[in-house]
Amino acid sequence: MRPHRVLAGCRSAAAHLLTARPPPPPPQRRHALLLLLSPRASLSSSSSPGFLPSGNGHRLYAGVFLCRGIDGTHEGRRMGVGPAPPHAVSGAARRQSTSAEPSSVPGDKAFERIYMNQGMAVKPLVFERIADDVGVLEERVEEAVRSEEGSGKGSVVETAAAADVLKEREVSEVEKEAWRLLERAVVNYCGSPVGTVAADDPLTASNQLNYDQVFIRDFVPSALAFLMKGEGEIVRNFLLHTLQLQSWEKTVDCYSPGQGLMPASFKVRTVPLDGSNEAFEEVLDPDFGESAIGRVAPVDSGLWWIILLRAYGKITGDYALQERVDVQTGIKLVMNLCLSDGFDMFPTLLVTDGSCMIDRRMGIHGHPLEIQALFYSALRFSREMLTINDGSRNLIRAISNRLSALSFHIREYYWVDMKKINEIYRYKTEEYSHDAINKFNIYPDQIPSWLVDWVPDKAGYLIGNLQPAHMDFRFFSLGNLWAIISSLATPKQAESILNLFEEKWDDLIGKMPLKICFPALEYDEWRIITGSDPKNTPWSYHNGGSWPTLLWQFTLACIKMGRPELAQRAVAAAERRLSDDQWPEYYDTRTGRFIGKQSRLFQTWTIAGFLTSKMLLERPEMASILSCEEDLDLLEGCACSLNKGGRKRCSRIAARSQILV
């Protein structure tokens, strides 16, 4: 672990307070209480809060700042500066409110149907203590035996077998190195781990940009690796601290985040207290995109936060966290922001370019698949986690309606295979009618020449984007993989996407898994669409580069679909190179042969993605915990919407036949 940065320069009184405090009992470990106050500073809650310039353009919150106990109580209050926490505006409201703003929930009549099941299909696995890999797995086996006794489902046997395999298996040197590096990447705040830095590359130490920050999306594979190892504390802390950073103010001025937005990243800074150099304290300093290159809004952050919150509950069995009022409010804020009314009429989420992992101009504004797949997952998991009461009923209804519409829209309009491409090839255009076949007025000449021979007969995929008169036919890995994991894609579509990976292995996996998108934009397209971005040249970085972090999502999708051998093959390809190459962020060239031009080394999500993939392959039962199965109720919602003209009857059977491709 890294040294606690805050201790440098601390007064001895503060250090004494730290050591004098008895260690809290596991598993309810609390944050170490840091009192880094000069004698002049007051702990009075009457101290008035306000906003201070931070010197780097961020807003920092000054007032009573908290090191919160992880059970939600305020273990310690301290005066200080930090990013505006929610309670800066209305602390009480945040902690006590259970209501979502009904005004921001659209009443989508076309998909009117209420789903309020909690959807807890998989029994939680309860970790009572932090243990080593084998210990944790043994606990899982015992738990599974207890819960599955007599059920005859056979999963216990599989889990027990997995435990034996793990006991016998010698952890490779590469994995040991990866664990060491992952531990080294841990960032502490108030004496507790809260995340991992994006990269810890000594070669770029003088030009770190924001790679020394904890990125929300980058932390997800780290979190899963820690959770599967039985270390829940860092994930819990991360979830709670990012929740405090969530934008709470509703603002209308430019460059300020809207209510509910989660930051792209945050940094732990040590700042002098009261402007003096006698005492210091740590603050969490978030970036909502207002400092990011290109000022991109991190739409995916809140979605990832919800996905991780659900995974934390499923893996640790600590559902109390998601039931907390402040956490419930956090979920509602993200959902309200996503579901708020705009001018758009599609059920997909309308975003600007670079609003996700691809956080530069790459022609993915509008309705990019990656955001839609994460959105779908977050909708499903929110519906599962939200407590039903008068304050949440409308929101849950809106979520269900949106889920039905979204899944119909993506399955129907984003899907391409040879048959569909042939249909598009023969499309009539300029159809003005309700029943138009070519609803989005796609001109057949848009079909790129590479596509015609590229898609194998038994394969298909979801296209990158759909807008009026515009289909982006590029293949984007993350969106397609999450469509499989979340069951946004139909089972048959999911199968076909994996067929594509298998048959187009050299294009999509090549010498290093996985292509972020295929193919690259070249020549005029590169110039016009990326704005001649020198970082996104053809087959580099976001423009057809290969990103090893995507491996864990590929592994999860393969295991879910019963094809772990595909993932094993990809993991083996990565394992051969990653350590020798010093864990690069990304690779370049068409087949992923070179370490990327500007790639960071010791990139944490590369390391964590590899470890998570290894662990998932060892414990395939985890895949069912982290993914979602098909939800027939949702399909019924889709079918009903199709039937508004009274053409077909509403039923599950109709849903199956109409929506399952």
- The rounded distance, in Å, linking the Cα atoms of 416 and 427 is 14
Q: Which is nearer to ligand GLC, 61 or 215 (CB)?
A: 215
Neighbours of 419 (CB within 10 A): 10
How many residues contact ligand GLC, by CB under 6 A?
A: 6
- Return the range that interacts with ligand GLC (CB under 6 A); candidates 70-78, 215-223, 436-444, 631-639: 215-223
Collect all residues with Cβ–Cβ distance below 8 Å to 190 and sequence separation of at least 6: 6, 31, 32, 33, 34, 67, 282
Q: How far is the CB of 360 from ligand GLC (least distance, A)?
A: 7
Of residues 242-281, those binding ligand GLC (CB under 6 A): none
The beta-carbon contacts of 196-199 under 8 Å, at least 24 apart in sequence, are 196/222, 196/604, 196/608, 197/604, 198/265, 198/600, 198/603, 198/604, 198/605, 199/585, 199/600, 199/601, 199/602, 199/603, 199/604
- 357 makes contact with ligand GLC (CB under 6 A): yes
User: At which residue do the structure tokens 């035996």 appear?
Assistant: 145
The two structure tokens encoding residue 560: 């879910």
Q: How far is the CB of 218 from ligand GLC (least distance, A)?
A: 5
Q: How far is the CB of 296 from ligand GLC (least distance, A)?
A: 9
DSSP state, residue 8: T
CB–CB of 615/228 below 8 Å?
A: yes
3-state secondary structure of 472: strand
- The rounded distance, in Å, linking the Cα atoms of 12 and 7 is 10
Q: Which is nearer to ligand GLC, 212 or 621 (CB)?
A: 212
Q: Which is nearer to ligand GLC, 41 or 578 (CB)?
A: 578
Q: Which is nearer to ligand GLC, 361 or 560 (CB)?
A: 361
Q: How far is the CB of 423 from ligand GLC (least distance, A)?
A: 35
Q: How far is the CB of 359 from ligand GLC (least distance, A)?
A: 5
CB–CB of 300/374 below 8 Å?
A: yes
Q: Which is nearer to ligand GLC, 156 or 214 (CB)?
A: 214
Q: Which is nearer to ligand GLC, 356 or 459 (CB)?
A: 356
CB–CB of 417/496 below 8 Å?
A: yes
Q: Which is nearer to ligand GLC, 163 or 307 (CB)?
A: 307
CB–CB of 547/472 below 8 Å?
A: no
Helix orientation angle between 369-385 and 299-316, rounded to the nearest 10 degrees:
40
The two structure tokens encoding residue 425: 């090839």
Q: Which is nearer to ligand GLC, 127 or 215 (CB)?
A: 215
Provide the mask over 138-167, with x wherever binding to ligand GLC is found by CB under 6 A and - wherever it is not. ------------------------------
Of residues 171-210, those binding ligand GLC (CB under 6 A): 198
Q: Which is nearer to ligand GLC, 234 or 442 (CB)?
A: 234
Amino acid 275 reads G
Q: How far is the CB of 424 from ligand GLC (least distance, A)?
A: 31
- The rounded distance, in Å, linking the Cα atoms of 25 and 21 is 12
Q: Which is nearer to ligand GLC, 372 or 543 (CB)?
A: 543
Residue nearest to ligand GLC (CB): 198
Q: How far is the CB of 118 from ligand GLC (least distance, A)?
A: 32
The two structure tokens encoding residue 71: 């059970």
User: At which residue do the structure tokens 């395939």 appear?
Assistant: 620
Strands annotated E in 243-345: 265-272, 280-287
- 501 makes contact with ligand GLC (CB under 6 A): no
CB–CB of 311/223 below 8 Å?
A: yes
- The rounded distance, in Å, linking the Cα atoms of 310 and 315 is 9
Q: Which is nearer to ligand GLC, 465 or 543 (CB)?
A: 543
Residue in 359, 384, 417, 472 binding ligand GLC, rule: CB under 6 A = 359
Would you report the helix, strand and coil content of the chain in percent, each value rounded to 5?
A: 45, 10, 40
- 218 makes contact with ligand GLC (CB under 6 A): yes
Q: Which is nearer to ligand GLC, 363 or 637 (CB)?
A: 363
- Return the range that interacts with ligand GLC (CB under 6 A); candidates 109-117, 119-127, 211-219, 647-655: 211-219
Q: How far is the CB of 435 from ligand GLC (least distance, A)?
A: 41
Amino acid 82 reads G
- Return the range that interacts with ligand GLC (CB under 6 A); candidates 5-13, 214-222, 530-538, 559-567: 214-222
Q: Would you give the end-to-end CA distance of the chain in angstroms?
A: 49
Residue 559, CA atoms < 13 Å, CB-side half-sphere? 24
- 353 makes contact with ligand GLC (CB under 6 A): no
Of residues 562-621, those binding ligand GLC (CB under 6 A): none
Of residues 412-471, those binding ligand GLC (CB under 6 A): none
- 59 makes contact with ligand GLC (CB under 6 A): no
Q: How far is the CB of 217 from ligand GLC (least distance, A)?
A: 5
Q: Which is nearer to ligand GLC, 185 or 279 (CB)?
A: 185
Q: How far is the CB of 539 from ligand GLC (least distance, A)?
A: 16
State residue 61 phi and psi, 5-degree precision.
-95, 130
Q: How far is the CB of 208 from ligand GLC (least distance, A)?
A: 11
Residue in 217, 269, 560, 614 binding ligand GLC, rule: CB under 6 A = 217
Q: How far is the CB of 447 from ligand GLC (least distance, A)?
A: 29
Q: How far is the CB of 267 from ligand GLC (least distance, A)?
A: 12
- In order, the DSSP letters of 181-245 are HHHHTEEEETTEEEEE-SB--GGGGGG-TTTTSEEHHHHHHHHHHHHHHT--HHHHHHHHHHHHH
Residue in 61, 111, 115, 215 binding ligand GLC, rule: CB under 6 A = 215
Q: How far is the CB of 517 from ligand GLC (least distance, A)?
A: 12
Question: Which residues are at the interface with ligand GLC (CB under 6 A)?
Answer: 198, 215, 217-218, 357, 359
